[in-house]
Amino acid sequence: MLTIRRKLWSLSAYRAIQLSNEDTETLPDIDYDLVNRRSASWTEEERQSFERSRAFEEAHPPGSLSYELTTEQGALIREKGVAAWEFEASSEVNVIVQDRTEVAFYGGEHCVQTNLPLPRREAVYYFEVKMFEKPESTSVGVGVATKPFPSWRFPGRNRHSVGYHSNGRKYCNDPLKGKSYGIPFHEGDVIGCGYRPQSGTIFFTRNGVRLGNAVAGVHLNIFPTIAANGPCNLQVNFGQLGFVFIEANVKKWGLAPPIGILSPPPAYGVERDSVLLQSGSSLTEEQLISFRMSLSNLDARKSHYRHADGNDVFIGQGSSLGSQRDLLSLITYDSDDESESTHVSIDIPAEHPDASSTTIITQPPAYTEMEYPLVDTEQLVDITVPNENPSD
């Protein structure tokens, strides 16, 4: 029985693929009178969701805000490539987004949209959504929608939105039952959505097979939108990886190049030709090694130097590499004999912040016994014992 059902769905999918562009319907408007007449069979939950969505549209009309790509967003796309797109989950939805494109739904009917709309410069833009974890009891919708969009509605069930749902039906500004379009999708399936800006055509794919045009005449700033009414995990591919739909790979239909022009940070351990090191010191490696060896041979791992004015100066062995380089430029050795005590003169420049002060090592003061005055304790404490027998 299951095999026969799948064959019937396959036949309907092939009929959808044979649709030409002339047969594609344009994006219709919502006939609210028709919706009210057919909403008698709705559940109370469906009715409340629809009424809330109408109130949301009245407060936030679709297309009331301009979402054209700004100059800053264009620069971000050039720098980061396809990594500029990411899904945004508000605090109103029970959804967690990880690594920009991994979306986890945890119950309830919610939807999420990307931060940037689909561009309209190239001929086609395309993205795919993999049903990584999807229980059969969870319905999923993949599509596009304008902003602002109610966070509890599936794409296609509100104005200015189009969606392909897991029941195998398409919804184009249709809050009712939708129309037959393709095959129901399940866990492991990959659903793709393509957009042709010139004609405003939107089409979908399932596991690399094109299902035909869903609607035409969508000349709006639309955002990739996914929704679910239960727990599931979805993974979205904007072009950072290879598509299951081969034509999209060959013609490079991703939202942007996989890699932008933003140069990666320098690798760890690269010190040569560093501006910071060059500005700190111009020592050669041989001079640095010689200086570090001379420090390691000093007694008690401390260097004892005598300043030009006769004061003793101690420099700790634990100083950093940069500070050792700076000290070397100020040090002049008086003797090369390492067996004897090493005496070094340090000339501190006048502009040095500590030029007027030197570190003088002095002995701490010796402890002395404190003399305390004698106090008569009998004057401080009454040592007389009271009479316990009041009759006496």
Question: Along the 392 residues of the chain, how does pLDDT read in single tens digits?
Answer: 444 444 444 444 444 444 444 467 888 888 888 888 887 788 888 888 888 988 988 888 876 777 888 888 888 999 999 999 999 998 889 999 999 999 999 999 999 999 999 999 999 999 999 999 999 999 999 999 999 999 999 999 998 999 999 999 999 999 988 999 989 999 999 999 999 999 999 999 999 999 999 999 999 999 999 999 999 999 999 999 999 999 999 999 999 998 888 665 666 655 555 554 554 455 666 766 776 676 666 544 444 444 445 555 444 444 444 454 455 455 544 445 544 444 444 444 544 455 445 555 556 666 555 555 555 555 545 555 555 555 55
Dist CA 47 CA 151 (whole Å): 16
Domains of the chain from N-terminus onward: 24-251 (2.60.120.920)
Dist CA 212 CA 203 (whole Å): 6
3-state secondary structure of 280: helix
195-218 core/surface letters (b: 16 or more CB in 10 A; e: else)? bbbeebbbbbbbeebbbbbbbbeb
State the pLDDT at residue 96. 94
Q: Rg of the chain over CA atoms, in angstroms? A: 39
In the β-sheet with 125-133, what is the strand arrangement from edge to edge? 95-98, 102-105, 232-237, 125-133, 190-196, 201-206, 209-215
State the pLDDT at residue 378. 56
349: which strand partners?
A: none
Residue whose C-alpha is closest to residue 208's, from 130, 114, 103, 102: 130
State the pLDDT at residue 45. 85
State the pLDDT at residue 3. 46
Terminal CA-CA length for the chain: 117
Q: 364: how many CB neighbours lie within 10 A of its CB?
A: 5
State the pLDDT at residue 5. 45
Q: E strands within 78-220?
A: 87-88, 95-98, 102-105, 110-114, 125-133, 140-145, 161-165, 169-172, 179-180, 190-196, 201-206, 209-215
Please list, in sequence order, all residues whose beta carbon lies within 8 angstroms of the beta carbon of residue 148, skipping any fewer than 6 positions away.
Answer: 56, 60, 62, 64, 65
Pairing state between β 232-237 and 125-133: antiparallel
CB 220, CB 160: distance < 8 Å: yes
CB 277, CB 271: distance < 8 Å: yes
Please list, in sequence order, all residues whose beta carbon lies within 8 angstroms of the beta carbon of residue 314, skipping any fewer than 6 positions away.
Answer: 302, 303, 304, 305, 359, 361
One-letter amino acid at 183 equals I
Q: What is the DSSP string of 11-65?
A: HHHHHHHT--GGGPPB-PPP-HHHHHHHGGGS-HHHHHHHHHHHHHHHHS-TT-S
Angle between helices 321-328 and 285-296 (to 10 degrees): 100
CB 208, CB 249: distance < 8 Å: no
State the pLDDT at residue 372. 53
State the pLDDT at residue 217. 92
Pairing state between β 140-145 and 161-165: antiparallel
